[in-house]
Amino acid sequence: MKPPRFEYVAPTSLEEALALRAEHGHDGAVLAGGQSLMPLLNLRMAHPAVVIDLGRVPGLAGIREWDGGIAIGAMTRQREAERSDLVGARTPLLAQALRLVGHSAIRNRGTVGGSLAHADGAAELPAVALALGAELVARSARGERTIAADDFFLGFLTTALEPDELLVEVRFPRPRPHAAIHEFARRHGDFAIVAAAVAVDLDGDVIREPRIVIGGVDEVPLRVEAAERVLDGAAPGGEAFAEAGRAAADAVEPSSDVHGSAEYRKELTDVLVRRALAEAIHTDRRGGDGA
């Protein structure tokens, strides 16, 4: 397979990269880790006139404390985030999800921001960003803005980023140790047929502020508010988890494909939500880190 012809540019500063984004707009594609863009190019599913390689732009990678949570530069390699003690302590759900992304060779090259900006509805990181209420920082020559994860994923491989913007950082506002992700894939490293990412708080023996996100059932990861309403104020346990699983399955409207029927994906949604909730509550109560 060969990609279509394109011009390749490798800016060496953020200002230069933003100028190139402003110049080329929709005709430009951004190369971060290349684990998503290169297959699209080789399959000729993408036809950019210009590919802008961010690999030489300083200051776009790194993990730091931020407002009680953490901030991760968009060009941070997934493997670095996976191995980070700070990520494990502050966002254990992210650490858990990263181990499900592809294989180690892919995570060595793939970036956190690249996966989020690619916005595949079956990918783990978009689901986790939504479950944790992340904020995504976009920058252009016009300035900087922050986009809530709830507003970031718009459709199939489509985000709220404007044609002249770059995703530069993702912020996870506070620790959510009561969290877990479960997915079902044909093989480890494959995209999930269905994934369920959950995050809850506990107020004594009562669930508060639950967030339940399902991946693999639509063009974008779906936050299932019907299931969240079932859990909010409920005592954690099998009965509440079963009701939440049923509510999530009723709320999603997946399509059938070669990997599974719509009915099969609904059943998986039910099962995976229950399992993720049980793990999140059990892990927290025994003092684990959720990873």
Which residue ranges form the domains of the chain, and what is each CATH number?
A: 7-52 (3.30.43.10), 63-172 (3.30.465.10), 179-285 (3.30.390.50)
Flag whether pLDDT at 285 surpasses 60.
no
Percent of the chain predicted with pLDDT > 90: 85
Mean pLDDT for the stretch of residues 84-98: 96
Instruction: Dump pLDDT digits (tens) for 210-239.
Output: 999 999 999 999 999 999 999 999 999 999
Percent of the chain predicted with pLDDT > 70: 97
Instruction: Dump pLDDT digits (tens) for 155-199.
Output: 999 999 999 999 999 999 988 989 999 999 988 888 899 999 999
| pTM metric for this prediction | 0.92
Listed residue (20, 27, 23, 21) closest to 4, CA to CA = 27
Mean pLDDT for the stretch of residues 238-252: 97
Flag whether pLDDT at 289 surpasses 70.
no
Mean pLDDT, all residues of the chain:
94
CB 60 within 8 A of CB 75: yes
- Alpha carbon 250 to its chain's center: 23
Identify the pLDDT of residue 283: 58
Instruction: Dump pLDDT digits (tens) for 117-126.
Output: 999 999 999 9
